[in-house]
């Protein structure tokens, strides 16, 4: 059974909370709108799809779901938005210097592609257990690869070593305001594409995606409810909200949702603790079955991380909220077709 953390659906001044989140994180609605201009013509404006059949399966037809298809974004995930925007925001004196990052795959691909488009070199640190399809994709964009042990601590340490060696610029997957502002364009687009949304459901890993989306969405409509979705096996945002302080991941997670293994970051926590109304955690079985459902019924290739949000809306806790119009972020579609989770 999924677990849930919820605030009070923010009966306090939402505008003040958005201001506080922006001040502490360095990401504002203005910077998200600027990011939208920076990525215009480079990133796709991804479609929003709906399905009466899926509405029936997920909620007996009581809720209309709108799926924001970031699985159809360049490099196969929302990460391209943040990567391209971050490189667009570099100071003139830093342009041309090598870009360094660490990632389990999607941000790695995004940085590699964005660096090539900015005519600079990317150095990417990936965990040894990274998905084969993501590893090969990073190489195809021309990045230099370094492998490390599959822990956040080792990723960060190795990235810093490489950065020093090449005199590079570190662009973190979720601790960089330019990255988070770029991810916020997902929420900005969705709020423009679909009117009168009551809630948004967003997967949480390091917290960059949900942070940007929360600032954008609540700036557009302070009444919209932002709900995070996490694997139970990688639920540091949920646990941090329960504890009232940011908790770090204690080790490598075994969740099938490989894009969500990172613990909630410092920047993400500054926004999540103020603007995220609820976090639902879901089991591995529910993640896999939800991923398979979207493949079979909507004919959309999504990765397990995207299945986390779909699993969350099937929980009793979510259904009891009785929302009528809900946006779900399908965050990515990079899957190793030789190792589908329901075939293991």
State pLDDT tens for residues 282-321.
999 999 999 999 999 999 999 999 999 999 999 999 999 9
Is the pLDDT at 129 greater than 90? The verdict is no
Which pLDDT does position 2 carry in this prediction? 47
Which pLDDT does position 5 carry in this prediction? 54
In this prediction the pTM is: 0.94
Q: Same domain for 91 and 195? A: no
Catalytic: 24? Answer: no
Number of separate domains in the chain: 2
Last residue of a domain, one of 170, 193, 219: 170
Q: Same domain for 337 and 282? A: yes
Q: Same domain for 38 and 96? A: no
Percent with pLDDT over 70 in the chain: 96
- If one counts every other C-beta atom within 10 angstroms of the C-beta of residue 19, the result is 15
- H-assigned helices in 167-200: 177-193
Which pLDDT does position 12 carry in this prediction? 64
Q: Same domain for 73 and 84? A: no
Last residue of a domain, one of 113, 136, 170: 170
Q: Same domain for 193 and 323? A: yes
Q: Once rounded to an integer, what is the mean pLDDT over residues 234-254?
A: 89
Q: Same domain for 145 and 60? A: no
Edge-first strand listing for the sheet containing 325-330: 3-6, 278-282, 225-231, 199-203, 325-330, 64-69, 48-49
CB 256, CB 287: distance < 8 Å: yes
Distance CA 282, CA 268 (A): 20
Q: Please report where in the chains the tokens 């059949």 appear, as a residue.
A: 53
Q: Which of 68, 74, 79, 261 is catalytic?
A: 79
Q: Same domain for 218 and 339? A: yes
Q: pLDDT band for position 269 (50/70/90)? A: very high
Which pLDDT does position 128 carry in this prediction? 87
Range of the structural domain that residue 163 is part of: 79-170
Q: Which of 172, 212, 183, 296 is nearest to 18 (CA)?
A: 212
Is the pLDDT at 8 greater than 70? The verdict is no
Q: Which of 88, 104, 240, 262 is catalytic?
A: 104
Q: Same domain for 154 and 296? A: no
Is the pLDDT at 195 greater than 50? The verdict is yes
Is the pLDDT at 146 greater than 70? The verdict is yes
Is the pLDDT at 3 greater than 80? The verdict is no
Percent with pLDDT over 90 in the chain: 83
Q: Same domain for 335 and 226? A: yes
Give the N- to C-terminal CA distance of the chain in Å, as an integer: 22
DSSP for 132-155, please give it: HHHHHHHHHTT-EEEEE-SSHHHH
The Cα angle at residue 33 between residues 39 and 22, in degrees rounded to 5: 120
Give me the CATH number covering residue 266: 3.40.50.1100
Which pLDDT does position 251 carry in this prediction? 67
Last residue of a domain, one of 135, 154, 170: 170
Q: Same domain for 73 and 201? A: yes
Q: Once rounded to an integer, what is the mean pLDDT over residues 15-25?
A: 94
Which pLDDT does position 11 carry in this prediction? 54
Q: Average pLDDT of the chain?
A: 93
Catalytic: 79? Answer: yes
Is the pLDDT at 9 greater than 60? The verdict is no
């Amino acid at each position: 059974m999924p677990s849930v953390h919820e605030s009070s659906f923010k009966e306090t001044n939402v505008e003040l909370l958005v201001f506080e989140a922006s001040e502490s994180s360095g990401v504002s609605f203005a910077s998200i709108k600027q990011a939208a201009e920076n990525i215009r013509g480079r990133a796709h404006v991804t479609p929003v799809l709906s399905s009466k059949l899926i509405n029936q399966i997920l909620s007996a037809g009581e809720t209309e779901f709108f799926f924001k298809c970031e699985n159809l974004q360049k490099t196969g995930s929302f990460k391209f938005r943040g990567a391209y925007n971050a490189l667009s925001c570099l100071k003139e004196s830093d342009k041309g210097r090598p870009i360094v990052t660490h990632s389990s795959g999607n941000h790695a691909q995004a940085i590699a592609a964005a660096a090539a488009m900015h005519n600079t070199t990317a150095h990417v640190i990936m965990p040894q257990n990274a998905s084969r399809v993501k590893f090969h994709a990073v190489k195809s964009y021309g990045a230099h690869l370094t492998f490390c042990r599959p822990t956040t601590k080792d990723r960060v340490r190795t990235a810093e070593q490489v950065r020093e060696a090449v005199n590079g610029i570190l662009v973190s997957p979720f601790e960089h305001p330019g990255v988070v502002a770029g991810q916020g364009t997902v929420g900005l687009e969705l709020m423009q594409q679909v009117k009168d949304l009551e809630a948004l459901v967003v997967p949480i890993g390091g917290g960059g995606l949900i942070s940007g989306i929360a600032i954008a969405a609540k700036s557009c409509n302070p009444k919209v409810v932002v709900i995070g979705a996490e694997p139970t096996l990688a639920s540091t945002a949920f646990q941090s909200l329960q504890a009232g302080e940011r908790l770090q991941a204690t080790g490598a997670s075994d969740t099938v949702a490989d894009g969500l293994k990172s613990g909630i970051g410092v920047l993400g926590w500054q926004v999540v603790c103020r603007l995220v109304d609820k976090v639902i955690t879901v089991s591995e079985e529910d993640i896999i079955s939800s991923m398979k459902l979207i493949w079979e019924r909507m004919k959309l290739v999504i990765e397990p991380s995207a299945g986390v949000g779909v699993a969350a809306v099937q929980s009793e806790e979510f259904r009891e909220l009785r929302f009528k119009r809900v946006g779900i972020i399908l965050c990515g579609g990079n899957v190793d077709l030789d190792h589908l989770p329901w075939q293991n």
